[in-house]
A and B are shown apart, each in its own frame.
Chain A
């Protein structure tokens, strides 16, 4: 393959260029262009830079050429001149490439700077909407007020997540090693108890702010998308873990399907109760706005309706806890461990996806 150097060192071309000096750069560029087959630079910007720098290069070429020219032998002089020409051409090319790299790097910095400014803006927005997990700032809201009950919950929740992650490791380990059923059963009970702790925490937090609980305000938007009255949907738990439970007996299968069916019926009943609550609340707000006569009793019943939201969240959590306990009863200890592991990992994945999305939604577009 003909190298660049081979293409540009025909003696005749450069003998003449060495005498051109600094005043005919355009002519030289066109010679270069021809030598490279018209592909000296696809980018017009680089071409302009190359032209501008070619002017500089010419000066140095002319000067160094002069300084290296030996006094005597013509042939040796020619050979030396060729070597010099070659080296200078290489230098020029290296310099050009370096300039192009620098330009690309600067462009990259500019893009990153813009992206950073964008991310900072989104972060600020998310913070105001209370979408960030962890820290009391998530509950600042637009007013900047902090609900101590909720702030305490968020802190406890962060800790709960850490412990939950440890328990998931333990579940994985216990399934990989040949542990006896007793050990596995103990761990299963421990994990179910840990979920119980979460539901107790949520019950306390619901007293502070039931709406916060219902909408899962401490969670990422992705997780919120899957929420059912402030947490996971019990019948969905069964859908998630079933693929992991391949060795169920027929009797177990029947029991699991029955459990799922019961969950669905209970969920439906609670959902209709929530709908009724919404209707009743809407009506009482309309009445409040309208009639002045029964004002105080309307206010009382409106407040009662809002407070009953707390009991719905509590019922939903109760359903979640019962579904977990029932599953661990129907399944053998190992099966139950698999079930809890699969479910725990599922929630972990949702959380991870949610955090990714919250940090940079446009990446998914």
Chain B
């Protein structure tokens, strides 16, 4: 769907979440710890929220939020983000979006 693609292509790191979802908040905190400021789009506060959910499932995303995009690519949910981080593969993906230390 256009909106999902639009948002994910315009922003380096995107989290589609819900305002009440504390797990999304945890992922947000992790990115911040890694020096990245993600773009958070709360689909429950978006009138087109349902459309976004449908678009995500068409892209192969079945789980509950958060849905994470990095450089326009769908990474997955919390599981995938955590696995990537523990294997040391997350930071390289985030490198373009980390301010110079």
Contact = CB atoms under 8 A, between A and B. Distances in A.
Interface of A: 255, 258-259, 262-263, 265-266, 268-270, 272-274, 276-277, 280, 301, 304-305, 308, 311-312, 315, 318-319, 322-323, 326
Contact of B22 (A259, A280, A323): A280
Given A304-B20, A305-B20, A315-B82, A276 B33 contact: no
A311 B20 contact: no
Given A259-B86, A266-B82, A273 B23 contact: yes
Contacts of B26: 269-270, 272-274, 276, 315
Q: Which of B21, B22, B33, B83 gathers the greatest number of chain A CB atoms within 10 Å?
A: B22
Contacts of A319: 82, 86
A130 B79 CA distance: 32
B87 interface: yes
Given A280-B22, A312-B23, A269 B29 contact: yes
B5 interface: no
Per CB-CB distance, the 9 closest pairs between chain A and chain B, nearest first, are A273-B26, A269-B30, A277-B22, A269-B29, A269-B26, A276-B22, A322-B86, A273-B22, A272-B29
Contacts of B96: none
Contacts of A277: 22
B78 interface: yes
Contacts of B13: none
24 contacts: A255-B88, A262-B88, A265-B30, A265-B33, A265-B85, A266-B82, A266-B86, A268-B29, A268-B33, A269-B26, A269-B30, A272-B26, A273-B22, A301-B20, A304-B20, A305-B20, A305-B22, A312-B22, A312-B23, A315-B23, A315-B78, A315-B82, A318-B82, A326-B87
Contacts of A318: 78-79, 82-83
Interface in B1-44: 20-23, 25-27, 29-30, 33-34
Contact of B25 (A255, A258, A276, A311): A276
A305 B25 CA distance: 13
B33 A322 contact: no
A322 B82 contact: yes
Interface residues of B, number: 20
A228 to B, nearest CB: 14
Given A305-B20, A318-B79, A266 B25 contact: no
A236 B78 CA distance: 21
Given A315-B82, A319-B82, A319-B86, A265 B34 contact: yes
Contacts of A265: 30, 33-34, 85
Nearest to B32: A269
B20 A280 contact: yes
Contacts of B27: 269
A322 B20 CA distance: 27
B13 to A, nearest CB: 14
A318 B78 CA distance: 10
A360 B51 CA distance: 60
A207 B26 CA distance: 21
Contacts of B21: 308
Contact of B85 (A266, A274, A301): A266
Nearest to B78: A315
Q: Which of A259, A266, A270, A272 gathers the greatest number of chain B CB atoms within 10 Å?
A: A266
A141 B32 CA distance: 42
A308 B30 CA distance: 18
Contacts of B82: 266, 315, 318-319, 322
B22 A274 contact: yes
A323 B30 CA distance: 17
Given A265-B30, A272-B29, A311-B23, 10 more contacts: A265-B85, A269-B26, A270-B26, A272-B25, A274-B26, A276-B22, A280-B22, A301-B20, A312-B22, A315-B79
Nearest to B21: A308
Contacts of B30: 265-266, 269
A315 B21 CA distance: 14
A315 B30 CA distance: 14
